[in-house]
Amino acid sequence: MDNRKLGQLEVSPIGMGCMGFSHGYGQVPPEAYAIEAIRKAYDYGCTHFDTAEAYGKEQFYAGHNEELVGKAIEPFRKEVVLATKFHIGELPQPDETSLYREMRRHLEDSMSRLRTDYYLHRINETVRLEDVATVMGRLVKEGLIRGWGLSQVSANQIRTAHEITPLSAVQNIYSMVERDCETEIFPVCLEKGIGVVPFSPIASGFLSGKVTAQEQFGFDDVRKFVPQLSKENIEANRPILDLLHRFAVEKNATNAQISLAWMLHKYPNVVPIPGSKNQERILENLGAWNVTLSDDEFRQLQSALDECKVHGHRGCVETE
């Protein structure tokens, strides 16, 4: 497998979303299991791990996931790229000075748990994006971060921010059933040399084919809010699963691996971060970088996918 670039940062072609060890997919596994999973992913070749300061605040406390990831990667910290995210709250005086203090506080809190690269987790309309980009540039110059990114943003917001302080990555939703990014996000990121880090690249498990219409999601399981995972839409979107299964059989792979191999073939700047709390699924997802589609196979898959109607569009891109 060949590494890919997020701006100037070199990472494995598939990363690992670590949220599920603290929040989002129901009951979390024991900490020792989670740490072992992260270390197994690294041993397999994964060098990009994604977290956020908010992951875990529902079941534990803010920063729980960062602490867990920090413990797991301690033996090989210098060999990996970490990405965390924060959200700027309401500021009494949202000028550049107060914004710097607030962002520096978030950064120092995160760095007490792990040394990391940085995303802004959604846009706060009360704070000017231009000011955020300026402060990020200052943090880069100070050597506190190696790069920065934006999450769930529009193409215009990417252009605005990148002109002030070059972005390493943009993290938006993208998968076979959520393809809005293809219209504007990928073109502008390819033009500017920005990596695209899709979250939910397997559509919260739908594209794996392992989520059934009878699935019962618990109180802390975000999948109950995913449109494609309603009983009706699982059945309605079955042609997409059948298509994936056909290619999976031909390629001696799994549905999830085909869905990831599809986007890796399609865009040279894409680095998906599938998330799971199951060690077997984590290694299966990473194994997608060993599944190679020929140009002809990709065209067949893309053509058939274009013929499939998606039921239950999700969408998460903020508009201006």
The catalytic residue positions are 55
Partners of residue 275 on adjacent β-strands: 17
- Alpha carbons 172 and 150: distance in angstroms, whole number: 8
Residue positions counted in the chain? 320
Q: What are phi and psi of 17, to 5 degrees?
A: -80, 125
Helix-helix angle 255-266:238-251, to 10 degrees: 90
* Torsion sign (Cα): 181, 183, 186, 189: negative
Q: Pick from 41, 11, 47, 24: which is nearest to 205 by CA?
A: 24
- Alpha carbons 187 and 205: distance in angstroms, whole number: 27
Contact 260, 285 (CB under 8 A): yes
- Alpha carbons 228 and 215: distance in angstroms, whole number: 12
Q: Copy the structure tokens of residue 181.
A: 């990014």
Burial 151-187 (b: 16+ CB within 10 A, else e): bbbbbebbebbbebbbbbbbbbbbbbbbbebeeebbe
